[in-house]
Amino acid sequence: MSAKKKITYVISLVSHSLLFERTLALLNRDKYELTVVLLHSHKTEFESNIADFGISVYRIDYKSKKDIPTATARMGKLFRKIKPDIVHTHLFEGSLIGSVAARVAGIKRRVHTRHDATIHHDYFPSAVKYDKLINRLSTDIISITENVKNILTEKENAPAEKITVIHHGFRIEDFSELSSDESSEIKQKYSSIKGSPVIGVVSRFIEWKGIQYTIDAFVDVLKKYPSAHLVLANAQGPYDKQIRTKLESIPADRYTIIHFEKSAAALFSLFDIFVHVPVDDKSEAFGQVYIEAMAAGIPSIITRSGIACDYAADRENCLVVPYRNAPAISKAILELAENKTLSAKLRDNARKLAADEFTLERMITQLEKLYDK
């Protein structure tokens, strides 16, 4: 039997991630010897969960960008000890530090998953040079959508032959087979969510997520459905003040703010309609909530951004609305609230698409194919 290929994952500033946990749990241990290096300031539940899989975990202290030189030196020393065949880096600091350290340590295969889209181009242009450095140092780049691939090639001149598109994978049954106990528990936990229809948004409070347009639309929806309820989940971020000012136009008992809910599948079961409306096509790199809503069978109103550019078919698996357009969002909400036939069609088609195209097994197969080449 040939020796196992040694693969080291480098992940920065993550405290909780089912996607990473499930990826590491499902990769073939008969073929790969896995190690994980975390850049973080303290031990997290995420670190403990990975260790429970029997994977060796190392943590390098990282609090801010001033730690980059020290962390890079420590990472290089660790790579020389581990001697991985492949280093696979994730997220900005993890990819910058990990790719530099791997190159200096002489690691020949350096894989980088690009998790963001145009955030640096739009908001932090001085950081684009580091994205380009990561691209140059990587022997392989995983793009999570065609949208990200286009950004890499068109805006950053990354060679197309380096890039492989691999979509995130999901355990679809988590969303489609919610138990009665889980359903009852989440309804009891958020018993303040009353009325109909319940409009769900799962998004950090960031300007480009477009939440402000959904709030404006909901004000209009209340005129026809005064018992409607708006749920804003994952509700924290730099646009918090502006969002809360917007919410002053809605009665306090008509909306609920959820800072964090660990069970995404249970959370989606609270919604009658899901809305996710980023302000342009390139803001989202992926947008996991698009797929989670599909898997949960929640009729969705969206703008095309991230992964939605790859799959969204208006009036077939979702309703697509123009960017920055509250009246269009309001009109779409009212249509789904009143047209049960259309809602059922969108729900059924979306569930099938999620089950066909976005499974964990499909993602793992594509990852292993890349590792084995």
Model confidence over 230-255: pLDDT tens digits? Answer: 999 999 999 999 999 999 999 999 99
* Nearest Cα to Cα of residue 202 among 167, 169, 241, 237: 237
Q: What is the mean pLDDT of residues 134-142?
A: 98
Cβ(95)–Cβ(10) under 8 Å? yes
Confidence of residue 57 (pLDDT cuts 50, 70, 90): very high
- For 172-357, CATH gives 3.40.50.2000
What is the reported pLDDT for 217?
A: 98
CA distance 370 to 364: 10
**Which one is predicted more confidently, 140 or 192?**
140
Q: What is the mean pLDDT of residues 314-321?
A: 98
Range 5-169+359-372 classified under CATH 3.40.50.2000:
yes
Which percentage of the chain shows pLDDT scores above 70? 99
Classify strands 319-320 and 300-302 as parallel, antiparallel or unpaired: parallel
pLDDT at 1 > cutoff 80: no
What is the reported pLDDT for 179?
A: 83
What is the reported pLDDT for 181?
A: 84
Enumerate the H helices of the chain as residue ranges: 18-26, 45-52, 68-82, 92-104, 119-123, 128-137, 146-150, 172-176, 180-189, 211-224, 240-247, 264-268, 288-296, 308-311, 326-338, 340-357, 360-372
Cα-based distances in Å from 272 to 106, 194, 333: 53, 12, 10
Intrachain domains 5-169+359-372 and 172-357 with the same fold: yes
pLDDT at 31 > cutoff 80: yes
Confidence of residue 263 (pLDDT cuts 50, 70, 90): confident
Q: What is the mean pLDDT of residues 301-318?
A: 96
What is the reported pLDDT for 3?
A: 87
What distance separates the 2 farthest-apart alpha carbons in the chain?
A: 69
| Domain ranges for the chain | 5-169+359-372, 172-357
pLDDT at 322 > cutoff 60: yes
Which residues lie closer than 8 Å to 49 by C-beta, 6 or more apart? 21
Confidence of residue 2 (pLDDT cuts 50, 70, 90): low
Which percentage of the chain shows pLDDT scores above 90? 92
Q: What is the mean pLDDT of residues 10-39?
A: 96
- Average of per-residue pLDDT values in the chain: 95
CA distance 130 to 122: 15
CA distance 142 to 110: 11
Q: What is the mean pLDDT of residues 116-121?
A: 92
Cβ(104)–Cβ(77) under 8 Å? no
Q: What is the mean pLDDT of residues 182-187?
A: 89
Residue where the block lists tokens 């990852």: 367
pLDDT at 167 > cutoff 90: yes
Joined tokens for residue 150 = 């286009």
pLDDT at 19 > cutoff 80: yes
3-state secondary structure of 325: coil
